[in-house]
Amino acid sequence: MDLPTLLVSGRLLRRYKRFLADVALDDGTRITAHCPNTGSLMGCAEPGLRVWLSRSDNPKRKYALTWELVQTGEGTLVGIHTGRSNRLVQEAIATGVIPELAGYASLRPEVPFGREGSRADLLLARDDSRCFVEVKNVTAAVSGGIALFPDAVTQRGAKHLRELMGCLAEGERAVLVFSVQRGDAGEVRPADDIDPVYGRVLREAIQAGVEVYAYRAGVSPRSITLQERIPVVCP
Query: DSSP of 95-146, one letter per residue?
Result: TTS-GGG-S-SEEEEEEEETTTTEEEEEEEEETTEEEEEEEEEE-EEEGGGE
Task: Give me the pLDDT at residue 167, please.
Answer: 95
pLDDT for 169-218, tens place per residue? 999 999 999 999 999 999 999 999 999 999 999 999 999 999 999 999 99
Please determine, looking at this structure, whether the domain spanning 82-230 carries the CATH number 3.40.1350.60.
yes
Of the candidates 67, 122, 66, 129, the one whose C-alpha atom is nearest the C-alpha of residue 92 is 122
Task: Give me the pLDDT at residue 115, please.
Answer: 87
Confidence of residue 221 (pLDDT cuts 50, 70, 90): very high
Query: What length is written for the chain?
Result: 235
Task: Give me the pLDDT at residue 11, please.
Answer: 98
Task: Give me the pLDDT at residue 41, please.
Answer: 97
Residue 111 region by backbone torsions, left for phi larger than 0, else alpha for psi between -120 and 50, else beta: beta
pLDDT for 50-85, tens place per residue? 999 999 988 889 999 999 999 999 999 999 999 999
Could you tell me which residues are beta bridge partners of residue 77?
Answer: 71
Indicate the CATH number for domain 8-78: 2.40.50.580
Burial degree of 33 (CB within 10 A; 0-12, 13-18, 19+): buried
Residue-range domain boundaries for the chain: 8-78, 82-230
Burial degree of 170 (CB within 10 A; 0-12, 13-18, 19+): exposed
Query: What CA–CA distance (Å, rounded) separates 35 from 169?
Result: 37
Could you tell me which residues are beta bridge partners of residue 214?
Answer: 178, 230
- Is the peptide bond between 150 and the residue preceding it cis, with omega within 30 degrees of 0? yes
Residue 18, SS3 per DSSP: coil
Task: Give me the pLDDT at residue 114, please.
Answer: 87
Q: Are residues 38 and 18 in contact, defined by beta-carbon separation less than 8 angstroms?
A: yes
Task: Give me the pLDDT at residue 22, please.
Answer: 98
pLDDT for 143-160, tens place per residue? 899 999 999 999 999 999
Query: What CA–CA distance (Å, rounded) separates 111 from 160?
Result: 13
